Chains A and B, each alone.
Chain A
Amino acid sequence: MKKVKVATVWLDGCSGCHMSLLDMDAAIISLARKIDLVYGPLVDAQEFPEDVDVTLVEGAVSSQDDLNKIQKIRQRTHVLISLGDCAVTGNVPAMRNSIPVQKLLQRIYVDGAQEGKIVPCDRVPTLLKQARPLREFVKVDLCLPGCPPPSKAIFTVINDLLDGKKPDANRKVKFG
């Protein structure tokens, strides 16, 4: 049987959603027989590949790099899932949204340093004005809220998709 191509992506989040994904514990062993993990924080893939069946995206869109990535990912993915509250609503990364970016950077790198006192500018990505949820930039097929979403909810959704069923994300939904 052809394995289903799954990718996971981590934008502006804390990796807690990825930890919740791993919290399926030993079930990952049986899942490994059905899927190829083609991209994500746990594997050494290079570019985001073409023709990915399912991509789970953790985190808000916060920098120009995030934005470029999510647009490319959308083009190359059949089912795109917003994984967790940061991807779904902006959540904690969006707490910076009322503060102008320059003021934020000034506080951290100039006022908050004893040496250097310079805002990083060499080969680091530019921050967007605000950290925003995925659906404001690309079409999202399914939202899985929670901070993080329960491991069981993630596992159920993946399994439903593997079985060719339309996932009912409301079954194990959790807010916050």
Chain B
Amino acid sequence: MKRITIEPVSRIEGHAKITIQLDDQGHVAGTEFHVTQVRGFEKFTEGHPFYEMPGITARICGICPISHLLAASKACDAIMAVRIPPAAKKLRELAHFAQIVQSHTLSFFYLSAPDFLLGMDSDPASRNVLGVIAQNPELARDGIELRKFGLQIIEGLAQERVHPAWIVPGGVASPLAGATRDRILSELPAAKAIADRTIRFFKGALDNYKEEIEFFGSAPTMYAGLVDRKGNLQLYDGGLRFRSAAGEVVEDHIPAEEYAQWIGEASLRESYLKAPFFKPQGFPAGVYRVGPLGRLNAADQCGTPDADVEFREFHQRFGAVAHSAFLYHYARLVEIVYALERIEMLLADPQILETHVRATAGVNALEGVGMIEAPRGTLIHHYKVNEEGAITWVNLIVATGHNNLAIGRSVQQVSEHFIDGTRLTEGMLNRVSAVVRAYDPCLSCSTHASGLLAMTIRLLDSDGKLLDELATD
């Protein structure tokens, strides 16, 4: 028995490694996906005032701090038992859609585009965003500009791009200025044009990735995502829907405060990332996926015109329930189209400029749950407090966690298909990393991570003796 270690998995948001066991014939016998760091937010926040939670938990992730600010603030709204002002809800949504745009753009252009544009087997020394800048400067510039568009909305609302202290319990800290709205609206057509160019480019390139689409985590699973009463895609509010691999709605409109009836968490020996599962099916049978692919499978439609055209084409091409993890990339681009449309709709609503944007109250409930769709999937913050408002207990279920079991299975499938232990190549192992990349896991969110991108591939025998080493130089 030999063992291959891919450490760390490169171009992901966090630190992970993969172990692949080979049998004596060089066939893949088993794989493990390890997330290798833990930070302990659920414990060290005990004793802090509940209203500090948005600011502290935002530091879970610098890529999508808005997600944690929103889920934490919603949990705090529940503890205060307030309904936030209508303009505050719209402003929170605006910041959220802006974040969806910037985060999906980072995943597509900065982290995964090197695989599509330069090739899965291309030289690892230049298979990165600087390589994309050199090879296809127009596409690289599109990525930079689209990310900037999303972040400038956040900066316009909150004065900071990373970790703004603007989304607060009870609403938001300050209203939107008319001039900021007008500036965003003036930049929107250029952002929409980039989204349109990119999705057309990607759809045109899909035929080059038939093998990846077929073997990249294509085993059917359940899917979960937030929807409204009409089955429209929702990212900020809505109830949680589980849809089966065959396409039936298994559970629908689960409110935030009932999540624990349906979602359990399992600890794993080999990873600091716990594995949530769908409780009625138990562990490990209750595997489901979240995130862009999960949401497009769970929802009946997006509910905006341009995104619905893309939504229908997506499902016409890949079925009512699309199973390949490679299609996360495609789903991410559909969601960028959706988010830009929602930004436009929100800004067209005069209520967005209203100046009453924050409700105030003390502790009116000893427990609160906030649930949203973060860029990578369903995010749940659950707090308990004492009567003084000090945190006594916290549970966080983050987007990438839900996908933990599925990522593990996808790694196994890709390894079995692409790896030949008798003639190891870097390109084979890059495909194993690429399937992890397709999920856009935020291991920073899921435990925290140390995200180094080096890749050392070592072939060990069962005693740990080094048999072969592959340098990605």
B356 at the interface (CB under 8 A from A): no
B 30-42 to A, binary, CB cutoff 8 A, 1 in contact else 0: 0010111111101
What interface size band does chain B fall in? Answer: 35 or more
Q: Known contacts A25-B144, A99-B43, A114-B264; decide if A46 and B456 are in contact (CB<8 Å).
A: yes
Q: For the complex formed, measure the closest distance between the CB of A134 and the CB atoms of chain B, giving whole angstroms.
A: 13
Segment at the A interface, from B130-138, B243-251, B369-377 = B130-138
A63 at interface, CB cutoff 8 A: yes
Residues in B neighbouring A44, C-beta threshold 8 A: 10-11, 114, 124-125, 127-128, 430, 453-455, 472
Q: Give Cα distance in the complex from A9 to B449, angstroms.
A: 11
**Interface pair B270/A29, CB less than 8 Å apart:** no
Give per-residue flags for B285-308: 1 if the beta carbon is below 8 A from chain A beta carbons, else 0.
000000000000000000000000
Shortest distance between the CB of B237 and any CB in chain A (Å):
26
List chain A residues, Cβ under 8 A from B60.
14
Proximity string of chain B (106-138) to chain A, C-beta cutoff 8 Å, 1 when within and 0 when not: 100011001000000000110111100110010
Q: Given A40-B453, A44-B10, A93-B39 in contact, is the A115-B133 Cβ separation under 8 Å?
A: no
* Residue A47 at the chain B interface, CB threshold 8 Å: yes
A96 CB to nearest chain B CB (Å): 4
Q: Mark A38-76, 1 if CB is under 8 A from B, else 0.
A: 011111111110000000000100110110010000000
Across the interface, which residues of A come within 8 angstroms of B129, CB to CB? 28, 42-43
B residues in contact with A92, CB < 8 Å:
56, 59
User: Number of contacts between A and B (CB, 8 Å)?
Assistant: 234
Q: How large is the interface on A (under 10, 10 to 19, 20 to 34, 35 or more residues)?
A: 35 or more
A12 to B430, CA, bound (A): 25
Find the B residue at minimum CB distance from A28: B144
- In the bound complex, CA of A71 to CA of B65 (Å): 30
Q: B34 near A124 (CB under 8 angstroms)?
A: yes
- Decide if A32 is an interface residue (CB 8 Å cutoff): yes
A113→B267 contact, CB < 8 A: yes
Q: How far is the CA of A122 from the CA of B268 in the complex (A)?
A: 9
A118 and B161 in contact (CB under 8 A), knowing A14-B61, A108-B38? no
Judging by beta carbons under 8 Å apart, are B448 and A43 in contact?
A: no
Q: Does the CB pair A14–B62 fall under 8 Å?
A: yes
Given A12-B448, A26-B141, A59-B450, decide whether A117 and B267 contact each other with a Cβ distance below 8 A: yes
Q: Which of B184-192, B213-221, B271-279, B358-366 contacts A (4 or more CB under 8 A)?
A: B271-279
Do B269 and A96 touch (CB < 8 A)?
A: no
Q: What separation, in Å, do the CA atoms of A108 and B265 have in the docked complex? A: 10
Selected A-B contacts with CB under 8 Å, 30 pairs = A12-B37, A14-B62, A15-B61, A20-B62, A20-B162, A25-B145, A28-B133, A39-B452, A39-B454, A40-B452, A41-B13, A42-B110, A42-B130, A43-B453, A46-B471, A47-B454, A65-B37, A95-B45, A96-B39, A96-B44, A103-B43, A104-B38, A105-B38, A108-B42, A113-B266, A113-B274, A114-B266, A123-B32, A148-B162, A148-B163
Going nearest first, the 3 A-B pairs with the smallest beta carbon separation are: A16-B62, A116-B267, A115-B266
